[in-house]
Amino acid sequence: MGLIESVMLLLLVSIILGEFLERFNITKIVGELGTGIILGPAVLGLVQPSDILSGISEIALYFIILLIGIEVTTETLIKNIKPGLAFTISSFLIPVSLMITVSYYFLGFPLVQGIIVSVSIGIPSISIISILLRKFEFLRTQSGHFLLSSVILTDVCGFIIASTSSNPSRIPFIVTGLALFFVAYFILDYEVRKHSKTISSLLNTLEPNEQGEGRILAVVVIGGLAVSVIFQAIGITFVLGAFFAGMLISEVVVGERLQGVLTRTLNRLNDSFFIPVFFAVSGLSVVVPTLYNLELTSVLIAITAIVGAAGSWIISRKLIDDVRPKSVVGILGGRGSVGIIIASVSLGASVISPTYFTDVVFGTVIISLIFSAMIRKTDITLLVEPQRA
């Protein structure tokens, strides 16, 4: 099957299957991954993985992560860093450390592969959790911002761990490069916000039509690619560069109108093409798992589900009083895009095999389905009860 036919078939089936599953409150990602699994070598063999499809998938990934960064602000991260860090440690770092230990010493995983699989299964997805926070209106609570900040920190930690584990000899260089980048980044972010009116006025001098908006989008895309190149030079995946580049773009800087234009444009591109194609292409790499592999993966699922949930529950009881702990645990259990992205990048770099990638897909889907059922909009507790007459 040719390239155009392959992309058309993947896109068509992933959209239909994703929309169908969403009617049953199952995330579209399950349908999009399922499309690749069904059409790929694991089942029907109609579409085969190829370098060209992988290239399209990388471009799609760039735009997906760029938009996630645009929807997050450095202000949200800085203001809520302490509670966010507490959730990151309890719901991610502790269970993932235990998963790595068990996978290496007891399950027979090679160390690097054990790290990648554990991080990919154990990491919450900022895109999935952002959707959950909006869907259940948790962003109107202070706790919603705590959780969003936690997921930002967690995902950054996950990308860094995954990148450094595959090349430990370069860790000193990577750490130094990241330290210099973050110093320069926050200085730039401060200066950009300080001169936001000037920047916004400059951008608004462009013609307020499709041509002018196209130029602004081109500037954003090129700037994001430049930051991605810097991260690749450091030795970190370009994905993290796209994320931080997106974070520099905010309503404060570019203005409400241009922010809306950028967000709507990227949302349409992502929802209609990049997201379904990326996950469908990722699904092509899934192989039929053996019973032994399913048993091993089930152990890691149990660790992140039990230990991570317990940590989230304990911290939420201490720090959160406007959302009940059960829904906090359910939100932080949201898995999907980020774990699949880390595993896909590692698979593309030949750090893990298709078998381990299949473990990740199985693990992330199961965990996300289990925890999403715990979330209830009614678990928002009003801090000020209405007075009785």
Residue 384: what pLDDT? 40
Q: Give the Cβ contact number of residue 135 at 10 Å.
A: 12
Phi-psi region of 25 (alpha: psi -120 to 50; beta: other; left: phi over 0): left
Percentage of the chain with pLDDT > 90? 26
User: Which of residues 51 and 249 earns the better pLDDT score?
Assistant: 51
What is the Cα–Cα distance from 271 to 260, expressed in whole angstroms?
16
Asked whether the beta carbons of 345 and 237 are under 8 A apart, the reply is yes
User: Which residues, other chains included, contact 282 with Cβ-Cβ below 8 Å and sequence gap of 6+?
Assistant: 33, 36, 57, 340, 344, 361
- Hey, which CATH number is domain 56-275+296-376, 3.10.28.10, 1.20.1530.20, 3.10.20.30, 3.40.50.1220? 1.20.1530.20
Q: Please state which of the ranges 73-87, 96-110, 134-148, 251-265 shows the lowest mean pLDDT.
A: 251-265
Q: Please state which of the ranges 1-15, 18-32, 348-362 shows the lowest mean pLDDT.
A: 18-32
Residue 198: what pLDDT? 77
Q: Give the Cβ contact number of residue 221 at 10 Å.
A: 17
SS (HEC) of 178-220: HHHHHHHHHHHHHHHHHCHHHHHHHHHCCCCCHHHHHHHHHHH
What is the phi/psi pair of residue 81, to 5°?
A: -65, -35
What is the Cα–Cα distance from 193 to 360, expressed in whole angstroms?
39
Q: Which two tokens stand for residue 320?
A: 């959160």
88 confidence band (pLDDT: 50, 70, 90): very high
Cα–Cα distance list, 359 to 122, 172, 258, 367 (Å): 12, 31, 41, 12
Q: Please state which of the ranges 11-20, 189-198, 362-371 shows the lowest mean pLDDT.
A: 189-198
What is the Cα–Cα distance from 188 to 190, expressed in whole angstroms?
5
Task: Quickly list DSSP for 18-65.
Answer: HHHHHTTT--HHHHHHHHHHHHSTTTT-SS---HHHHHHHHHHHHHHH
Question: Closest Cα partner for 6 from 239, 283, 270?
Answer: 283
Bridge partners (DSSP) listed for residue 380: 323
Q: Which DSSP symbol is given to 92? A: I
Q: Is the pLDDT of residue 364 over 70?
A: yes
Query: Which amino acid is present at 66?
Result: L
What is the Cα–Cα distance from 131 to 128, expressed in whole angstroms?
5
Q: Give the Cβ contact number of residue 67 at 10 Å.
A: 25
Q: What is the pTM of this model?
A: 0.78
User: Which residues, other chains included, contact 323 with Cβ-Cβ below 8 Å and sequence gap of 6+?
Assistant: 138, 141, 143, 144, 316, 379, 380, 381
- Residues 90-114 have a mean pLDDT of 94
